Amino acid sequence: MEQTQNVKEATQLRPLGNRVLVKRLEAEATAKGGIILPDSAKQKQEQAEIIAIGTGKKDKQGNIIEIPVKVGDTILMEKYSGQEVTVNDEELIIVRADDIIAIIEK
């Protein structure tokens, strides 16, 4: 499993099965009109970066179905999906691969 060195040392958290570990990307702090938004007014951002992936889920025959993302991908996920965890003062989210809506191509 590929991971950047600093993230690997910081998290020491490996998702199991059909789950991925993501870091939510920061929402913009300024509205279109130039107004600076306080943290309480910002919407939860649905974009996240993949930090680690699980092994995938098994089908009825016991074959592993791989997760279609890789470490470093930027994804679009369902707004309120996943379990938030804090590791070494870093807020991360563990989400099911099924809650990933799309991969954002750069």
Average pLDDT of the chain, as a whole number: 80
**Within a 10 A sphere around the Cβ of 13, how many other Cβ atoms?**
16
Give the chain's domains with CATH numbers: 5-25+44-104 (2.30.33.40)
**Does residue 23 register a pLDDT over 80?**
yes
- pLDDT greater at residue 5 or residue 77: 77
Residue 53 burial class via C-beta count within 10 angstroms: exposed 0-12, middle 13-18, buried 19 and up: buried
State if pTM tops 0.85.
no
pLDDT tens for 89-106 read 889 999 999 999 999 987
pLDDT tens for 27-57 read 655 555 666 655 554 555 589 999 999 999 9
